Structure formats: structure tokens, C-alpha cells
Structure 1
Amino acid sequence: MSKERLVVAVVGATGAVGREMLKTLEGRDFPAAEVIPFASARSAGSKVPFRDGELTVRELTEDCFTGIDIALFSAGGSTSEKFAPHAAKAGCVVIDNSSAWRMDARCPLVVPEVNPHHLEAHNGIIANPNCSTIQMVVALKPLHDAARIKRVIVSTYQAVSGTGQKAIDELDRQVRQMFNMMEPEVQVYPHRIAFNCLPHIDVFLDNDYTKEEMKMVHETVKIMDDPSVKVTATCVRVPVFYGHSESVNIETEKKLTARDARAILSQAPGVQVYDNPGQKMYPMPIDAAGEDATFVGRIREDETIENGLNLWIVADNIRKGAALNAVQIAEELIDRDLVAVRDTTVFLK
């Protein structure tokens, strides 16, 4: 298909990630003849900025995808479950940012730096992984290729923007209230987030892990296509606006020194090594905010096991953790000439 004729939709265009998707399409000069923003009936008719002007938001309906080649979805799981199959039926390739399709066997779960070849088998819906999973596997895949990772232990420190605009507003409001000696209002989270940490992201499951933690476990295995990799996670919400941080411990089959790991990661796509403890150089969320790269620092050997490494990984959860990864998938589809749905009945059978 000619790049000049591509029509791209952004579903959920008025949300934080949807707006970032539009910004990313513009910033990367994505080859589309037309970009169409969609949202709920409530937002239809509103304007969103794009390039040198504005786009008018259209109402999302089941029959709105005719003539659209690629749709970037970021409107929540229930919306994706309802509308993505209709998009695929219309011959539109969906790249979905919700959790709705991630573990569906019919849908590849893709991070372009890690498993772009999985796109070859797509049936019209491609899942964008969880934000915390994306940045971790970008850093782990080159190490896995070099020394084969056996086990991953990760603790996350996740920004409130991962919950959405209401959580950003709540953190801002609570900080102001506390500085003014007022009782902070708690609405979005079960406890106050200002000056606090909540070891609770998404709902608790029967095994006492949260859904967010199990997303990291299952998604990592699917993306790396290696069920032998064992993952355990603890996910924590912290009072940071943008940028997720992760403390990651890995055990490998082959020995990797910290120097080896730095050299490998320095050559890895999408990774920027920022690691000089003597100069107090290590990644922080304020460094990653607004940036495309996944930053890795505090690379050091785990002295308690024979083949272990500790890493500190930081990325902007709205960019690489959502919008950028989705746009990169779209770019990969174009490069591989995969902007077509082979069987438009797969998701409506």
C-alpha cells in the first residue's frame, strides 16, 4: 500500500495517551495522508491539536472504520473489546493500548525493539503491552540474547499518570491541600498518594498479587517467547507525575559482568545507558519525562548469586510506555508491508 494514501485513526484522541499519540505521529512525521481523531459522543465535535492546526473529533461508532488503514486505540479495555473487532472486520489494523487483547492467542503482543517478527502473524488486532513491561523488556532482551535470563525479580515505582488525568490532578490537589494545612481529598486511589507510596496497582487477585504484577509476569513471557523465563513482580504507585522506574534483578545462565552488560546495552536499540555512580549519574523520572529512550543505570553484579545483575530502568510511561510504542508498531507494519487484514472474520466469529 502506498504510504501517501494511508489513513490513520486515533481512538480516545482526547485522553492523555491519545493526545500523545497525535503528538508522536506528528513528531515522527508519520506517513499518513489523513489522521482522524475519534472519541465518545460526549467529546465529538471538540478539537485536538495536530501539526499546524486542529482536528475535529468524530464520534466512535461500530461502522466508522471504513477506509481507515491503521487505528491506534487508547480508550480503555471495554471500548477496545467492543470496537476493535469491528475495525478489523472493516480491514483496519488495530494497535490497542488497553489490556483487553494482550493475552489473546490471536493477537501478537509487540515491542518493536524486541519481537517485531511477531507482527507477521497478526489477524487485525495487535496489542501494545503494559507500560511497565515495555521498558523492562527493551532492556532485558539484549541481555537475554547474550546470556539467557533464567529469572527476573522486579519492583516498580510507577507514576500517577499511569492511572490517567484524574490521578495527576489528585496528586497536584493533595500536595496543595497539605501545604495549606488542609485534609487531602482521596478519590482516585484507596489512600492518599501525596508524600506516600501505595504497593497496590490495579485489583488484587486470588494469589494476593495485583493484576498489574501478573501483567508483567505473563506479558514478559509472551513477548520474549520463552516460557522458561521466570518473573516475579511488586508494583508500587509513587507520587511522581510522569516516568516509571524499576529495580530489576536478573539471574542468567552465562556470566555477564557489569562491564559486559553496559557494553551490550550501549548498543541496544531504544536504550540509553546513564550509569556513572562516581559522578552521581543514574536515571531518574525527571530525566525520562518527554523522552523516547529507555534509560538504564545502577548496573552492578549481584554478589549473592553466581550469575546475577541489578539494573535500574526508567522511561516515560506515556511515551515509550504507550504512545511511542504504538506508533513504532505502526511504522514496523508499514516497513514489513503488513498494513492489511488477511482474515476479517477472525474476531467476529
Structure 2
Amino acid sequence: MGYRVAVVGATGAVGREMLTTLAERNFPADEIIALASGRSAGNEVSFGEKGTLTVQDLATFDFSKADIALFSAGGDVSLEYAPKAGQAGCVVIDNSSAFRMDPDVPLVVPEVNPGALARYGKKNIIANPNCSTAQLVVAMKPLHDAFGIKRAVVSTYQSVSGAGKEGMDELFNQTRAVYVNDPIERETFTKQIAFNVIPHIDKFMDDGFTKEEWKMTVETKKILDPDIDVVAQCVRVPVFIGHSEAVFIETKKPIDAETARKAMHGFPGLIVLDHRADEGYVTPVESAGEDAVYVSRIRVDPTVKNGLVFWCVSDNLRKGAALNAVQIAEELVAKHLKKAA
């Protein structure tokens, strides 16, 4: 007997990707339920190549009729409905930042800290990390295990899909406007994104960092190791899909490019494609639609003792959101959540 799985925010970019991923990976579900706001109720969404689903109204849905709910409708929606779902016996896997730093909610990347799932029952809520954090910790985990990472400095180059469909539409419309000499209109981003980069994602905090940068720091510590020092600069770039990161690490043990490659090689969800030649690295274009985190440009940082630099790229809608959520659900049903016959 399979599971009943609800997808909250099914009409959004990540929600649609969740449905596609559930279909592609043949998740053991007897029923998939698409949920969204009342204004979307009655519309249809694609369930991969398996057909379409009629969207139901989240506000009136009885979560006791679902075993697992994948949430991707924003923090406010999660704060309102995730606790209700959990209290109804439905296990929530939430893609927002609402519960990530709650000590009673595990923050999980299955390749990195699957054991944290054992604590899901405290609130029946599991948090999915920020998209930029998810790919970072997958790349860092084998290096941390082998060499002990003390410090990480990260510069991100994040695609507009991280801001949802509205962000993608804004890049498209602004790019078109540049070519036809129309006025540049902006609603989603703080400055023009077409042919530009914006060193600002999410709200500014009192110390001058943005909330996106804070998330990368505290989430990496919670998932990987609280003793790792992490500092980030997050930048929005005019790319539709795929986040990239330049990562500078310092380790406790000696490290070089070859030993780093050996440590990363074969780690689940991680592909090393690193050739010191033209086209010998992965860019966001190649990562779009792929499940893996790709690592390239591995080299020693000569400015610090035991330093390494690398480049990592991943499809933020998949590993950064939908895929990671579905992988959490797969680990949950395999190891923790047993369906009654």
C-alpha cells in the first residue's frame, strides 16, 4: 500500500518541479494531491508524464487525509498550515525558511545528515535548507569528513528562478525590453537584473549581511558542523536556472587538489568534472534539469595553510528545492515512516 502525498504550492515553479520529481522517481504513492490557494483551485497541473491533477483549495483541505505534505508556498503559508498538518498526523517537508532554525525541527540534506530525520516526530515537520546551502553542504561533506573544514568563504551567483516564476518573467521581460528599446520595468528585484548582477538577496540585517547570507551560515552549521566558520556574499545574476558558488575552504589537515578530488569522487549526489582546459568545468546551463551537484576548478589556495578553492553548480529548483524534498520523503518512508498495511 502506497502513501498519500500532498504538494502545497503546486502551481508555483518549485511545486511543479516537486510533482515532476515525484513522477520521475516513481515515489510509492497511491494518491498525489495538488494544493494551492483558493484562486487556483480547479485548475490543472501536470504530474510529470502521468497526466494531470486538479488543484484543491489548501484552506479547506483535511491533512488527516495525507501521510506526507511537501510545502513550497512561502514562509507565511508554512507558518499557518504546517503545524496544522503536523497535528493532523501528516509529516510536513517544508521548503521555506519558517522552521529551519527551530531546534525541534530537523534540517536535512539526505546525503549529508540523514540521521537527523529520527527527530521528525517532535513536530511532524522536517525543513528543507536554502537552495544555496543544499548544494554547498553536499560539496563540503566529503571534504569535511576527510580533512576537517575550519572555515568556508562562499560567493554565490544565484539564478532568478530562486525568486520564483516572477523572477524568471522579470529577466525575460527586461531582456526583451533592452533589445527593443522599451522602458525597463522592475517589480521583483531591487535593481535591473537583465545584463546586470545584484549583490543583494533577501532583506538586510543589522550587521550589513543579508538574510540569504545569514541562512547560508547558520544552516551549514546546523546541517554539517556548528564549529565551521562560514561567511557568504550572495549575488543575483541574469541566469534563469542554476546556482553557482565559488568556495574557499581552510581545513585542519593538509589538503591538495588530488586528495580533494579523491575524497569527492563517488560521494552520493556529487559529480566532479574538473579539467584544466577550455570547457573543462560545469556552468548553470549544463546543470539545469540535472539532479547532481557538480564540482569543478579544484585548486590549492596558496594564501592560507591547508586551503582549497572550488566551483560548484546545481539546478536550484531540483537539488536546491524539489529533489531534496522528495529525497527526504524517500528516506523517511524507507527508514522511519511505516505505512500500515
TM range (shorter): over 0.9
Distance in 2 (CA, whole Å) between partners of 1:265 and 1:5 is: 35
Distance in 2 (CA, whole Å) between partners of 1:110 and 1:263 is: 25
1:103 shift after superposition: 0.4
Distance in 1 (CA, whole Å) between partners of 2:314 and 2:183 is: 32
1:137 shift after superposition: 0.2
1:22 shift after superposition: 0.3
Contact 2:92 2:126 in 1 (8 A): yes
Partner of 1:274: 273
Partner of 1:167: 167
Question: Deviation string for 1:276-312 (max 9, x for gaps)?
Answer: 0224311100010000000000000001112000010
Distance in 2 (CA, whole Å) between partners of 1:52 and 1:134 is: 28
Q: What is the total number of aligned residue pairs between the two structures?
A: 336
Contact 1:62 1:87 in 2 (8 A): no
Partner of 2:215: 215
What are the residue-to-residue correspondences of 1:50-65 with 2, within 5 Å?
50=47, 51-61=49-59, 64-65=62-63
1:61 shift after superposition: 2.4
Question: Deviation string for 1:183-219 (max 9, x for gaps)?
Answer: 2112211110000000000010000000000000000
Partner of 2:177: 177
Distance in 1 (CA, whole Å) between partners of 2:2 and 2:264 is: 37
Contact 1:62 1:83 in 2 (8 A): no
Unaligned runs of 5+ in 2: none
AA paired with 1:258? A
1:5 shift after superposition: 3.0
Deviates more, 1:65-74 or 1:151-160: 65-74
AA paired with 2:168? I
Partner of 2:93: 95
Partner of 1:345: none
What are the residue-to-residue correspondences of 1:196-275 with 2, within 5 Å?
196-224=196-224, 226-275=225-274
Q: 2:13 aligns with which of 16, 24, 27?
A: 16
Question: Deviation string for 1:108-143 (max 9, x for gaps)?
Answer: 000000000000011200000000000000000110
AA paired with 2:16? R
Question: Deviation string for 1:63-112 (max 9, x for gaps)?
Answer: 52012100000000000000001100110000000000000111000000
Contact 2:118 2:336 in 1 (8 A): no
Partner of 1:66: 64
Contact 1:301 1:310 in 2 (8 A): yes
Structure 1 pair 87–339 and aligned structure 2 pair: CA distance change class (3 A):
farther
Tell me which stretches of 4 or more aligned residues in structure 1 moved more than 6 Å: none
Contact 1:66 1:90 in 2 (8 A): yes
TM-score of the aligned structures, taking structure 1 as reference length: 0.95
Partner of 1:25: 22
1:263 shift after superposition: 1.1
TM-score of the aligned structures, taking structure 2 as reference length: 0.97
Structure 1 pair 175–276 and aligned structure 2 pair: CA distance change class (3 A):
same
Task: Report the 3-state secondary structure (helix = DSSP H, G, I; strand = E; otherwise coil) of the residue aligned with 2:326.
Answer: helix
Distance in 2 (CA, whole Å) between partners of 1:240 and 1:63 is: 36
Distance in 1 (CA, whole Å) between partners of 2:2 and 2:140 is: 37
